[in-house]
A = this chain, B = another copy of it.
């Protein structure tokens, strides 16, 4: 399986107390569904450690960098030839833009917490909705990655894993760990 587009995630608006679990879900979803890594605007060592811990045991080379400034992160991504996609319920619905996005080599997917800075809408190259309904940035990211990778990421490999699930009709089986 070769996934052509390189995708990283930028999580903004993270509030260390309130958003810890949701941001952790964002990071783990990014990793499991084929993103290369996550930039976290804000400092949160706890999240960085817990995602690194998962990545260490379950394999692959997902990166996570906290403490980034979001505008600088976006500018650096653009300077290196990348395209920036902001996921928002106010954007263009995914089915209307996904074929165009699949032609890009390098995407930074920006997912916000409850409110995002107003200028993000103008700075992003694309504002994309996963339905124009209110739901969850975790769900939005998951559907976005799955569409961009055309479902192939669901069978992705994670080299160097210490632990591996043995898929089963019933029960819980794993090897290693």
Identify the A interface with B (CB < 8 A): 21-22, 25-26, 28-29, 31-33, 54, 58, 88-96, 121-122, 126-127, 129-136, 138-143, 146-147, 151, 153-156, 158, 164-165, 167-174
With A138-B138, A142-B142, A165-B90 given, is the CB distance from A151 to B95 under 8 Å?
A: yes
Residues of B within 8 A of A32 (CB): 130-131, 133-135, 139
Contacts of A154 in B (CB 8 A): 93-95, 130-131, 143
Cross-chain contact B135 with A33 (CB below 8 angstroms): yes
Give chain B residues whose Cβ lies under 8 Å from the Cβ of A26.
Answer: 136
Q: Are B139 and A33 in contact (CB under 8 A)?
A: yes
A139 to B30, CA, bound (A): 10
Contacts of A93 in B (CB 8 A): 154-155, 167
Q: Which of A90, A156, A158 has the most CB of B within 10 A?
A: A90
A165-B25 in contact (CB<8A): no
Residues of the B chain whose Cβ atoms lie less than 8 Å from the Cβ of A88: 172
CA of A171 to CA of B124, assembled, Å: 11
What residues of chain B lie closer than 8 Å to A132, measured between beta carbons?
164-165, 167
Smallest CB separation, A94 vs chain B (Å): 6
Q: Which residue in B90, B155, B156 is a CB contact (below 8 Å) of A172?
A: B90
Is B54 within 8 A of A170, CB to CB? no
Which single member of B28, B121, B122, B138 contacts A25 (CB below 8 Å)? B138
Whole-angstrom CA separation of A31 from B165 in the bound complex: 30
B165 and A121 within 8 A (CB): no
